[in-house]
Structure 1
Amino acid sequence: MIKEWNLLRVIACLSIVFLHSTSQIGMATGFPETEYYQLIRTILCYATPTFVVLSEIILANRYPYKLPEKFWTKRLKWIFAPYISFAIIDALVSYKLSPTVDIKQMIFNNIFLGAFEGYFVLIIFQFYVLHYFVTKYRISINVLIPVSILSMIFHFEILNGDIAFVQENMGLFKIPFTAWFGYFTIAYVIGKHYKKASALLYKHKWLTLAGVTVSLLGVFVFFKAGYTSVGSRRIDLLPLTIAISAAVIAWGQLMKNFKIINIISNYSFGIYLLHWQIQRYFGNDIAQYFEGTFTRVMALFIFSLAASMLIIKIVSMLPFGSYIIGNIKRKPASKLKTLKTAA
């Protein structure tokens, strides 16, 4: 695996764990009466789209012309099976915390409607289908980019409108690919031409920091204008996600290949699925044990990250472990080999 990809995955993973730590502590003790706490949480929402973007970058880099045999089999085993597992686990944890929960209905909603934190898997699978059609039918990406961005804008306009059905089923409307289409097309271009794109970003690495700064300013302007919802369904997160991804790809090429980065990267999928359940279960206890919002958030962040990695390691030793927490025993590929695939 290319080292800057691992770095980007780790940064996104840790951002998600930290974001959810702020959520759980806020729900346990009350959110601080400062808008900047919410602003920081809003910025951290770039992390889920980044996972989706990186997924397509890797896919377009490795399979720029067609998907290989057994592609779907592997994804069903090591991505969709864990999704199903945690859709059930999420319902069980919810039932444990609140026995009045209709567990059968919740399992159904989790699996088919993505009504839990693993919903991004449904988006990634839609990207797999999009990738299949784009490569099979040689669809012009130059046409697809503006279409995809316009579809996102239209989708978010509907979300921010006053249609009763949309407002009552807001969670469902985060799943269709049209809400994420722009991420797909931009990631496809980066991945398919990764050798040139990474070299260009490295050459202009200081400009990537300017891009992050400008996109952060854009989120700030939207936030001050009253667009204060904390979630990934924000159009201003598109430039922020792409800017952060570009900056990490550029600067990550300077980074040494640290073992801890590779380990967290391999565990990232499992961490994403598992940490939320740990935080739900232990968040109140940690909030009561520590004082001060920052201390509580950091304590929950560190605890849930460490506990997730420990549980993932233990589960991975089971014969069926990869069907629960994903495949953490991926063999690393050399950067040269991967770049040749992209050329």
Structure 2
Amino acid sequence: MQKQLVGEIFWLRAVACLSVVVIHTFNFGYDFFPGERSSLTDLIRMAFLFSTPTFVFISEFLNAKSYSSSVPDGFLKKRVRILLPPYIILGFVYPLADHTYLEGVHSYAGAMGAYIFAVAKNLIFADYVAYFILIIIQFHILHILLSKFLLRMSPAVVLTVSFIINAGYLMFFNLVEPSSALPLHGYIWGKGYWIPFPGWIFYFALGYYCGKNYDALKMKVEKYRILVLLAPILFYSLSAVLQQSLLLEGTSKRFDMLLYTTSMIFLIICLSSRVKTVPRIIYLISNYSFSIFLLHLLFFYTLKPLPHMSMLGYQIYIFIIGVAGAILVSFLMNKLPFGKFIVGNVQNRANSTRRSGPSILVANNGKEISQPK
């Protein structure tokens, strides 16, 4: 039986992954070149904020496309076995690269104590880039619990309710000031609210119904392609106005990003569906996207601006090294039996994604499951 990969997912994963890296180049650029930060650079950075939510969509899309009503034995175990070890191991590694926790520390004992505290923050409070792993694990669990329910429910009802829940949750943390009487209020309003699933539930629901009804989705996207092409401009403009008027933080965990992210997902699907074969560079970045997501900041922490370098030059410099370095490290580590448990698993799939013959359902563990039309 012929096999066919979902080519649009390669594009979504690659574009979202590179967009995450771009966002972080702005963050580091602002640190070293604060004088070059402006409203314009903030608006440019905002255009890439769809990236992290898109990974929630992709995760559930793949789950629903392969297992819309039930999951096989060992479904969760296989995924946790791949996802959790990098979260734990890199929780120890990242403080070795990011030394900000050592500010004001002048002794070996103090440095060791600060390091242990930094590791504890990473692992207990998900206070580093791998926080996203905990979000994905939550949605694997929710897929097991809710897939049969979602199968029976009206997509319009579920999407509407999940949007209201998601938007209301984010609006609360975006617009309501934290109470100093609440324990850990600084952490909760700063990063803590990112982790629980209500902050992403709409992307989960959207991913489920898009994955389950993907052929119908592509027909709708093609039918309303003019609207699909214009929607990102409209919703980006709305987000730009809200960012300036409400002084919202430049983060993807904003209520207005629900609309903008959705429009960008459909735009990428619309454009990439017209490409008959996925280019090798997109295939490569998609395949290494998890490792790039996890590792690129390790390079950023060690790369300082070169003499006479502008912020843009520095951003390009760390972007190239961060992406290439993450791919190289992941490639070499995956040659080792235990490497995937440190930097993430890299799947080896067919280089071509021709759109003919039976469809292929690409599961999150990289297995290809053929299914007749």
Would you call these one fold, judging by a TM-score over 0.5?
Answer: yes
Structure 2 contact 168–255 (Cα < 8 Å) conserved: no
Distance 1:342 1:293 in 2: 52
Structure 1 contact 52–183 (Cα < 8 Å) conserved: yes
186-195 or 220-229, larger mean C-alpha shift: 220-229
TM-score normalized by structure 2? 0.84
Displacement of 1:238: 0.9
Displacement of 1:108: 2.4
Stretches of structure 1 lacking an aligned partner (at least 5 in a row): none
Displacement of 1:216: 1.0
- Choose the corresponding residue for 1:73, options 58, 64, 77: 77
The code of the aligned residue for 1:85 comes to: I
Structure 2 contact 101–115 (Cα < 8 Å) conserved: no
- Spell out, residue by residue over 1:307-333, the C-alpha distance to the aligned partner (whole angstroms, 9 max, x if none): 111111111111111111221134349
- Choose the corresponding residue for 2:163, options 124, 129, 149: 149
- Choose the corresponding residue for 1:325, options 343, 352, 355: 343
Structure 2 contact 299–318 (Cα < 8 Å) conserved: no
**2:146 counterpart of 1:134:** yes
SS at match of 1:45: coil
Distance 2:223 2:202 in 1: 25
Distance 1:61 1:259 in 2: 24
Distance 1:331 1:168 in 2: 40
Structure 2 contact 6–360 (Cα < 8 Å) conserved: yes
Displacement of 1:342: 9.7
Structure 1 contact 267–312 (Cα < 8 Å) conserved: yes
CA gap of 1:114–1:208, structure 2 versus 1, over 3 A, is same
Matches within 5 A, 1:235-314: 235-255=255-275, 256-282=277-303, 284=304, 287-314=305-332
**2:121 counterpart of 1:109:** yes
- Spell out, residue by residue over 1:231-252, the C-alpha distance to the aligned partner (whole angstroms, 9 max, x if none): 1111111111111111111111
- Choose the corresponding residue for 1:15, options 15, 19, 32: 19
Distance 2:372 2:247 in 1: 39
Q: Say how many residue pairs are matched.
A: 340
Structure 1 contact 21–297 (Cα < 8 Å) conserved: yes
Displacement of 1:7: 0.7
Structure 1 or 2, whichever has the larger Rg, is: 2
**2:174 counterpart of 1:162:** no
Structure 2 contact 330–344 (Cα < 8 Å) conserved: no
- Spell out, residue by residue over 1:183-216, the C-alpha distance to the aligned partner (whole angstroms, 9 max, x if none): 1111211111011102221333332111111111
Distance 1:78 1:205 in 2: 38
Distance 1:35 1:265 in 2: 31
- Choose the corresponding residue for 2:136, options 124, 149, 164: 124
Structure 1 contact 61–341 (Cα < 8 Å) conserved: no
Structure 2 contact 91–123 (Cα < 8 Å) conserved: yes
CA gap of 1:303–1:202, structure 2 versus 1, over 3 A, is same
**2:85 counterpart of 1:85:** no
CA gap of 1:288–1:158, structure 2 versus 1, over 3 A, is same
Matches within 5 A, 1:57-68: 57-68=61-72
TM-score normalized by structure 1? 0.91
SS at match of 1:117: coil
Displacement of 1:227: 3.0
Counterpart of 2:334 in structure 1 is 316
Counterpart of 1:43 in structure 2 is 47
Structure 1 contact 152–181 (Cα < 8 Å) conserved: yes
- Choose the corresponding residue for 2:204, options 181, 184, 190: 184
Distance 2:371 2:308 in 1: 50
Displacement of 1:168: 4.6
State the superposition RMSD in angstroms.
2.2
Structure 1 contact 195–342 (Cα < 8 Å) conserved: no
